[in-house]
Amino acid sequence: MNPLANRPFVKMNGLGNEILVLDLRADPVEVPAATARALARPSVLPFDQAMVLYPPRREGTAAFVRILNSDGSISAACGNGTRCIAALEAERTGAAHTLFESEAGLLDCHVRPDGQVQVDMGAPRFDWREIPLARDVGDTGQVIIPGFEALGPASLLSMGNPHAVFFVPDANALDVEQLGAALEHHSLFPERANISFASLTAPDRILLHVWERGAGRTRACGTAACATGVSAVRAGRTGRAVTVTLPGGDLQISWREADGHVLMTGPVEREFSGTLSTAMLEEAA
């Protein structure tokens, strides 16, 4: 029998970004890539990211979080998923403040009285080695990507995972699926990349469409919203606090000047909970 059979799960979303939460802190087992793909099937528990909670590695944290995309690949960061697990932990413990750890570092979360969840996503990284890129491209804030010159320069950075942000006249007019799929696998990105197409709609508002690495087009991507807010500031397009509007709704993004950390605030929704069955996992072998 699959060791994940009969384990409880919670299905949530952050602005329509579909999140599966598996709390394995009491009895940790590995969740292989094949299992993630089996669970993400449209007829089973379709998700964009699975947030798998393991016993904490660092004192003062609630859990170590392993993040899997729907294709089974690993992601070091997921802003919408982090808001979801923060809300669940607040529900479980009654504490509004929670600290998680992921491959991207510490995630400081606060559930506000209005139910919105704020996450400190840490500081962005701009060095080509840390994003990472295949080669030194000079200024990572203005990069023309070979084969996609018509899109103009991209802002390249890491928010725990690699991002390419294009500011375009009308993000609604682009073929996000075609462009995103091609750019995700561009040779410039050895670990693939999240691809964002953004348009400024007001001095403090940005319209955003995202093709997410390992998941495809999503209704929302928290780290992409953070990357876009940071990119707008770097290019002198906005101030340090912006509202980013995705197909799923709005995220408030603030790039703090004091320590360079990015704060993301937005809603979460609990959809349903259940127990993993052998039938759900049958294709994982």
Residues designated as active site: 78, 221
**SS (HEC) of 98-134:** EEEEECCEEEEEEECCCCCEEEECCCCECCCCCCCCC
Name every residue whose Cβ is closer than 8 Å to that of residue 273 and which is 6 or more positions away in sequence.
Answer: 8, 9, 10, 11
C-alpha span between 116 and 259 (Å, rounded): 23
Question: How many residues does the structure list for the chain?
Answer: 285
Q: What angle do CA 234, 240, 246 make, to 5 degrees?
A: 90
Nearest Cα neighbor of 214 from 50, 1, 44, 32 is 50
What are residue 143's DSSP bridge partners? 154
Tokens for 73, please give them: 């690949």
**209-to-24, 76, 126, 184 alpha-carbon distances in Å:** 33, 21, 22, 14
Sign of CA dihedral 215, 206, 160, 195: positive
Sign of CA dihedral 206, 265, 215, 143: positive
Nearest Cα neighbor of 120 from 134, 100, 94 is 100
Q: Residue 144 has what DSSP assignment?
A: P
C-alpha span between 238 and 226 (Å, rounded): 13
